[in-house]
Structure 1
Amino acid sequence: MAGRVLPSLPQYRKDGVTRRICATVHLHDDLARDIDRDLTGDRLTAIGLTLGINFVAVARHARVAVRRRAALDRQLAVLGALFLASLLVALWSLLAGGASLVLLAVYGPLGVLVVTWALVHHTQARARDAAQQVFRGADRPETLVPPIEQAAETRLHELKRSNVLPYADETALVNPFVGSGKRLQEREVIWGPMDVSEPAEGPGGTKLPITDFDAIDLHTYVARHMEGISGLDGLRTRNRLYVLGSNAYLLPELVPDRAGRPNPHVPKQLVQAGLQRPGAGMRTHLCLERVGEGGRLIVSMYLRAILARPSLSWEVAAYAIPPLEARFHAVDTLPLARFDRWWSLVKYATGHTWSELSGAPGRMLERSRWRHDNDRALRKLRRKIKNQHVIVDYGAATSLREQYGDWDQAGYAERMDALDYLVRLQQGVLTATERFLKDHNVDTSSFDNAQKIITQNYHVNTVNGPSIFGAGGTIQQNSGPQGGGPQGAQGGGGKPAPKP
């Protein structure tokens, strides 16, 4: 019955993935360190697509967690020095035999351990409170912590509407769509060719004049109408220029300073040029992104219209990113009851007191060494760019969202959603193409024949081929070459410029 009134079921938060990441950086120091370096550190390589994540919020929470860890290590280093001093006094008192010194020797190291225990307990309690606040609170995640450097936040804001992405040279043999997850179909495909040179018949059997169009017009039409045709509310569409990382310097609008990072935007005309007439390692694709409930799943389809008259073809690739890996769900199980929370913190502090105390100098040294090595490598590479005209790979190798996805966390609902989104996107592209051709008075008989073949083959490959669904629709492990490793904060590897 139309207009039926039903109760509302609980829904996932739209920013659920952002909140999980913001909460988890407070609980995992290594994660906070890596994300802080990736998003705000000095670098020459591009940062991968945001894909539904609020990078500003994540960067702010990662910075707070990094600073909390650094402050704790400084305090622990002082306590460690006091502990060693008290042990030396204990040894000397035993040799000297002074009663008062013996008491000091006994209680000195013990007192340091008690203070360390209390400090570890307090810091962990603060970290858990911060994680609970961002995960369960009503306030926007970015408002709960102080901002970071304005320049860094501006760059992260701009990434949300990026229309260009340099991709790392190492991914060029696989695909340019870095950070988009695992292929949903067996392989990238070409739909067509379809003859678009024959005019459609009008009233009385007369031939209608074909309205002139190009690939840019077709991309624009599909982008504008795909959400309504596919029924995928919230579908994000954008033409994006993909550039081979080592060729990025050829576009001054993309890399205005060869010793700096690439821009997230280029003029619209360059994006259109990459579709009409691709450049050296530069092609424009129409990117369709559908974020599932709460951001748990992301399905992306990449299209490129190849209009070589009299034929039209579609280059098509589809990818999916699964839910976050298991450690991002630890915030769900943090104890909330007063006694349970107290006992959990007591056990944590007791089990980590000695490792925290003894490991503080090593952690401080590691951070200092990494900063020194990273800064030195970047200075060296920038000198080579300036003096030797070395070519740098500016491309991104992955995305933060892909990096921490895990198909083992995808259940039946996520698998079926991925399949549903894929089928809707596939059919939506075909429907939009057919309507576009009819609007431009093109005879669609060739398109109709191609569509039958496309629909039949595409469904078979998706369900039964070696895709993420596997044989029988079971999820396979995400072991593709584009998964896993962290985005390096360092600049891309250099190689000598070719001679003209």
Structure 2
Amino acid sequence: MTVTGRSLPSLPQYRTDDVTRRLSASVHLDDDFALYVDRMLTGDRLNALGLSLGINFVALARHARVATRRRAALDRGLACLQTAVPLALLLGVWGLVNGPRSLGWVAIFGPLGACAITWIMVRRHEARSRDTARETFLGAAKPEQTAPPVEQAAEAALHELKRANVLPYADEAAYTRPFVGSGEKIKEVVWQPIDVSRPADAPGGGKLPLRPFDVIDLHTYVARHMEGISGLQGLRAKNRLYVLGSNAHLIPELVPDRTRRPGARIPSQFVQAGLRAPGAGMRTHLCLERIGEGGRLIVSMYLRAILQPPSLTWEVAAYAIPPLDGRFHRVDRLPVAPFERWWDLVRHATRRTGPELRGALGRILRRRRWVSDHERTLARTRRAITKQHIRHDYGATGSLREDLGAWDEAGYTDRTDAQDFLFRLQQGVLTATERFLRDHHIDTSSYDKAVQVISTQTYNIGNVSGPSNFGAHGTILLGGQQGPGPHGGPAPGGPGPAGSGPPAPKP
């Protein structure tokens, strides 16, 4: 690379933890979302949690716990007022009929006082939530430093998930793809086989001796050199064992206790074994993950080398996760000027006083009922596992990051970045494979023919589709065409309806 020595100003950049900050702020502004996150990340469960994919789960879990506790405290106070209103009415009526008539004033001013106190409590709760959200999103401190820790065991599991080298996937995902939570499909294909049995020509004539290798060597080589070859700084490359959920218990190191959730890390020997000799619903893939600016977009490629002499081929699958849904941008639109902030809080409290007061007891009862039902279901499942020895599906069904994305939030730069990531990843795998074969003295003429077929395969990113063409010497030819699908909908293989995140749970 030529260095010009130009001195240029630095443009503002997205924060690398922008998605984590935005979600951590959103739990303070959306009580249902806070409860959903708290239950998902720290609740008792038997199935695996999806990959974090650029989100700091520890920080998010801490802020969700703060938000849910604040909401619960508000509901407890409102429930006392909700109970006091009918009591005040009864006391006032009794006083008018049978007792001192002065008690009749209780029937008049009791409900009014309860409404006034509710107004104050709702306004204070909203003000604290907004202030915490803005500080979390814009503050200098890291999000995990601005909220107290949750349970030690829960945080340890979330920390372990950052370095996950194994992921059980739900049995139902076996019919589509095991890479749960990776987003919308860009492409899934098995590349043209390459003949690896013929030695390369020696410089002085004759043939070079073949250097033996296996798929572990090839995966290791690609993982080690992909960042430099592709030019994608910050590329994450890791071998990960994907296990069918109902077969996860067959690996004791993955499920040491069949009545608890599976772990996220196992000895590396099991991961390597999934390369050389895949097991029952167990295969190891080289996972390449490139996260875009500020975590807005994620493109993942999953590779599995298939070596069956005399040929080698790659199983390739690529997926993309769009930016966060627009509902997580509320923190950007909070009024901050003194009068506007005051007036907006007044309007919010006035509008919400009645519903908050009337629904306090109901919200508390629904939360308790959910906890009771959840504990009963887990106890019943655990009893079936231990007493009836049923095969439980421990697999993850998706990921939080995938659930919260929406393709209608993907702009031009996001779509072009996704294409760039895809092309660089594919070209990087081809280049790394060619270099690996040359290093092992293998004739690459079969590789050259295979590339001609591989480079014409198509892709789909959002509503953009086309051939992933590569020109000579690794140049990229952008042959994509933008347009709707055959019936005016998304392009084939594109995403589902925008904003198809998780349904907001009722407290």
Q: What is the TM-score with the length of structure 2 in the denominator?
A: 0.92
Whether the 8 Å contact between 1:76 and 1:116 is mirrored in structure 2 is yes
- Per-residue CA deviations over 1:90-132 (Å, capped at 9, x if unaligned) read 4334546965233332211101100010001001111111101
Aligned residue number for residue 472 of structure 2: none
1:29 and 1:359, CA in 2 relative to 1: closer, same or farther beyond 3 A? same
Deviation at 1:458, TM superposition (A): 3.8
Q: Within 5 Å, which residues of 2 pair with 1:244-263?
A: 244-263=244-263
Aligned residue number for residue 210 of structure 1: 210
1:472 aligns with 2:482: yes
Aligned residue number for residue 170 of structure 1: 172
Q: Distance in 2 between matches of 1:366 and 1:97?
A: 39
| Aligned residue identity for 1:214 | D
1:486 and 1:98, CA in 2 relative to 1: closer, same or farther beyond 3 A? closer
Q: Distance in 1 between matches of 2:88 and 2:495?
A: 52
- Relative contact order, higher structure (CA 8 A, sep 6+): 1
1:337 and 1:487, CA in 2 relative to 1: closer, same or farther beyond 3 A? closer
Q: Within 5 Å, which residues of 2 pair with 1:271-310?
A: 271-310=271-310
Deviation at 1:485, TM superposition (A): 4.5
Aligned residue number for residue 240 of structure 1: 240
Length, aligned pairs only: 482
Percentage identity across paired residues of the two chains: 62
Q: Distance in 1 between matches of 2:123 and 2:66?
A: 18
Aligned residue number for residue 493 of structure 1: none
Q: Distance in 2 between matches of 1:383 and 1:177?
A: 30
Q: Within 5 Å, which residues of 2 pair with 1:391-430?
A: 391-430=391-430
Aligned residue number for residue 46 of structure 1: 48
Q: Distance in 1 between matches of 2:411 and 2:459?
A: 21
Q: Within 5 Å, which residues of 2 pair with 1:79-118?
A: 79-95=81-97, 99-118=101-120
| Aligned residue identity for 1:294 | G
**Matched residue of 1:464: which SS?**
strand
Whether the 8 Å contact between 1:249 and 1:255 is mirrored in structure 2 is yes
151-160 vs 469-478, greater mean Cα deviation = 469-478
**Matched residue of 1:204: which SS?**
coil
Structure 1 stretches of at least 4 aligned residues deviating more than 3 Å after TM superposition: 90-99, 458-462, 473-477, 483-488
After superposition, the CA RMSD in angstroms is 2.0
Q: Distance in 1 between matches of 2:357 and 2:143?
A: 32
Whether the 8 Å contact between 1:165 and 1:242 is mirrored in structure 2 is yes
Aligned residue number for residue 476 of structure 2: none
Deviation at 1:230, TM superposition (A): 0.4
- Per-residue CA deviations over 1:140-164 (Å, capped at 9, x if unaligned) read 0011111111111111001000000
Whether the 8 Å contact between 2:192 and 2:453 is mirrored in structure 1 is no
Q: Within 5 Å, which residues of 2 pair with 1:109-128?
A: 109-128=111-130
**Matched residue of 2:347: which SS?**
helix
- Structure 1: which 5+ residue stretches go unaligned? 489-500
- Per-residue CA deviations over 1:359-404 (Å, capped at 9, x if unaligned) read 0111111111111111111111111111110110000000010010
- Per-residue CA deviations over 1:420-461 (Å, capped at 9, x if unaligned) read 100000100000000000000000000000001111224699
Q: Distance in 2 between matches of 1:473 and 1:232?
A: 28
Aligned residue number for residue 229 of structure 1: 229
- Structure 2: which 5+ residue stretches go unaligned? 468-478, 485-489
Q: Distance in 1 between matches of 2:377 and 2:480?
A: 43
Q: Within 5 Å, which residues of 2 pair with 1:304-343?
A: 304-343=304-343
Deviation at 1:321, TM superposition (A): 0.5
271-280 vs 450-459, greater mean Cα deviation = 450-459
Whether the 8 Å contact between 2:404 and 2:502 is mirrored in structure 1 is no
Q: Distance in 2 between matches of 1:14 and 1:98?
A: 68
**Matched residue of 2:316: which SS?**
strand
1:26 aligns with 2:28: yes
1:454 and 1:249, CA in 2 relative to 1: closer, same or farther beyond 3 A? same
Q: Distance in 2 between matches of 1:57 and 1:203?
A: 58
Deviation at 1:484, TM superposition (A): 4.4
| Aligned residue identity for 2:417 | D
240-249 vs 375-384, greater mean Cα deviation = 375-384
Q: Distance in 2 between matches of 1:141 and 1:200?
A: 55
| Aligned residue identity for 1:472 | Q
Deviation at 1:487, TM superposition (A): 12
Whether the 8 Å contact between 2:57 and 2:158 is mirrored in structure 1 is yes
Aligned residue number for residue 14 of structure 1: 16
Whether the 8 Å contact between 1:398 and 1:487 is mirrored in structure 2 is no
Aligned residue number for residue 442 of structure 1: 442
Deviation at 1:223, TM superposition (A): 0.3
Aligned residue number for residue 70 of structure 1: 72
**Matched residue of 1:284: which SS?**
strand
| Aligned residue identity for 2:163 | R
1:339 and 1:390, CA in 2 relative to 1: closer, same or farther beyond 3 A? same
Aligned residue number for residue 132 of structure 1: 134
Whether the 8 Å contact between 1:434 and 1:444 is mirrored in structure 2 is yes
| Aligned residue identity for 1:420 | D
- Per-residue CA deviations over 1:13-61 (Å, capped at 9, x if unaligned) read 0000000000000011111111111110000100000101100000000
Deviation at 1:314, TM superposition (A): 0.3
1:484 and 1:169, CA in 2 relative to 1: closer, same or farther beyond 3 A? farther
| Aligned residue identity for 2:353 | T
Deviation at 1:204, TM superposition (A): 2.4
Deviation at 1:486, TM superposition (A): 7.0
| Aligned residue identity for 2:125 | T
Deviation at 1:82, TM superposition (A): 1.1
Deviation at 1:3, TM superposition (A): 1.6
Whether the 8 Å contact between 1:194 and 1:312 is mirrored in structure 2 is yes
Aligned residue number for residue 487 of structure 2: none
1:485 and 1:26, CA in 2 relative to 1: closer, same or farther beyond 3 A? closer
Whether the 8 Å contact between 2:93 and 2:104 is mirrored in structure 1 is no
| Aligned residue identity for 1:455 | S
416-425 vs 101-110, greater mean Cα deviation = 101-110
| Aligned residue identity for 2:49 | I
Whether the 8 Å contact between 1:17 and 1:296 is mirrored in structure 2 is yes
1:61 aligns with 2:71: no
Aligned residue number for residue 359 of structure 1: 359
Q: Distance in 2 between matches of 1:128 and 1:370?
A: 27
| Aligned residue identity for 1:427 | Q
| Aligned residue identity for 2:80 | V
Whether the 8 Å contact between 2:89 and 2:106 is mirrored in structure 1 is no
Deviation at 1:184, TM superposition (A): 1.4
Whether the 8 Å contact between 2:170 and 2:394 is mirrored in structure 1 is yes
Q: Distance in 2 between matches of 1:486 and 1:180?
A: 19
Q: Distance in 1 between matches of 2:385 and 2:225?
A: 45
Q: Distance in 1 between matches of 2:501 and 2:129?
A: 26
**Matched residue of 1:392: which SS?**
coil
**Matched residue of 1:23: which SS?**
helix
